[in-house]
Structure 1
Amino acid sequence: MPEPIEFRRSRDVDEVRQTILDLHVEVRGDFGLLDRPFNSVERFDERLLAYAQRPGWETVVARTPGGELVGFCFGTPLGADTRWWASMINPLPDGYTTETGTRTLAFQEICVRKPWRGHGVARRLHDKLLAGHPEERVTLLVNPAAGDGKLKAVYESWGYEEIGRQQPFEDSPQFAVMMRPLRHS
């Protein structure tokens, strides 16, 4: 790993918005995804601002002690009025999608700059965000084709299991919906 990393939590989107957008452009550009409308900076910014308006939204930003940006992640507890489950392709058991604001944390985004990939930074960002959250479980969406399935395999190694598929936006990929207990040993 190039240098030590410092992690900082924030609930103020205005404080971190440009940092998150800049890193989104860099990382999604690395993977050749910015030409897809769903991954454009404008669409990502719309989603970021919408997520950040929800109660409990939080981000963790990682930097070197010298201030160089390493990565970020963010998530939001699912409220009773969430639309998170509205695009499920397969039905889930009765009550599975009932949300209270304290039942499920949605892990919505993670980006790590290229020099720090493969050094456990993504897992540390993930764990820093989840630390201290009272929710029972955590869910995320992943494109199962990303990295030829390697990204989904990473989440599985972190204890997530696929519970179904959904396509939340007309121009988004069909995502694997993954879930795990929040307190994972």
Structure 2
Amino acid sequence: MTTESTRHEQVIRAYGPGQMPPLVDTVADIWADAHPELVDNPGAQAMGLSVPALRQQITGHLKHPGFTLTVAYADGTAVGFGYAFPCSADYWFGPALAHQVPQATRHQRLMGLCELAVRPPWQSHGIGRRLHHALLEAINPQWSSLLALPSNRRGQDLYARLGYAYAGPYRNNPDGPEFDLLLLHVEAETRV
């Protein structure tokens, strides 16, 4: 697709778990570009917000059936990515938070959106929305959920525009950072 504002050929491609290993360096580079405040930040690294932590996270998530990676390319160069997988509400929310989310999520298809990142020069061009849309199309959930740092204003703004709502605070572990757990009820119009 060629856009009028940038005149760059933009393509979104979806990949399964077997295709991911050669792309780990690419997505790690995009993540680092999208989160410069976390790179080389000892505090962020101590909280597990680093390129090595991302690599470990991806490796652990590859085992999930339905794992899907979407990559945005502009003129053949990777400029953004997102990845997600179908999961159960028990897996995604955990027992401490399950009571704070709609009961319907326990009985309907749920997508855990793990990462969505776009290189800064390509932000605000609709790429994050298109990556998200491609994940919804590939996984076909009834609900989608993600974790976002409260301080990530650009991300929070994007997720609000996509229709996500705050469901509660969440920590991966007691010493980890507090995230906002965001939840989206996926309806037909959300996929457009």
TM-score bucket (shorter structure): 0.7 to 0.9
Aligned to 1:123: 129
The equivalent position to 2:118 in structure 1, one of 112, 116, 125, is: 112
Aligned to 1:91: 99
Work out the percentage of aligned pairs sharing the same amino acid: 24
The equivalent position to 1:53 in structure 2, one of 54, 57, 63, is: 63
- Give me the whole-angstrom Cα distance separating, in 1, the residues matched to 2:102 and 2:147: 21
The equivalent position to 2:170 in structure 1, one of 166, 173, 178, is: 166
- Give me the whole-angstrom Cα distance separating, in 2, the residues matched to 1:176 and 1:133: 23
Q: Do the aligned partners of residues 133 and 40 (structure 1) sit closer, same or farther apart at CA in structure 2, a change above 3 Å counting? A: closer
Q: Do the aligned partners of residues 80 and 166 (structure 1) sit closer, same or farther apart at CA in structure 2, a change above 3 Å counting? A: closer
What amino acid does structure 2 have at the position aligned with 1:86? G
Aligned to 1:78: 87
Q: Which runs of 5+ in 1 are unaligned?
A: none
The structural deviation recorded for 1:5 is 0.8
Q: Specify which structure has the higher proportion of helix.
A: 2
**How much is the aligned-residue C-alpha RMSD, in angstroms?**
2.3
Q: Is residue 63 from structure 1 mapped to residue 73 from structure 2 by the alignment? A: yes
The structural deviation recorded for 1:69 is 1.5
Q: Which runs of 5+ in 2 are unaligned?
A: 1-5
Aligned length: 177
SS in 2 for 1:39: coil
Provide TM-score, normalisation by structure 1: 0.84
The structural deviation recorded for 1:54 is 0.9
Conserved? CA contact 1:159–1:184, under 8 Å: no
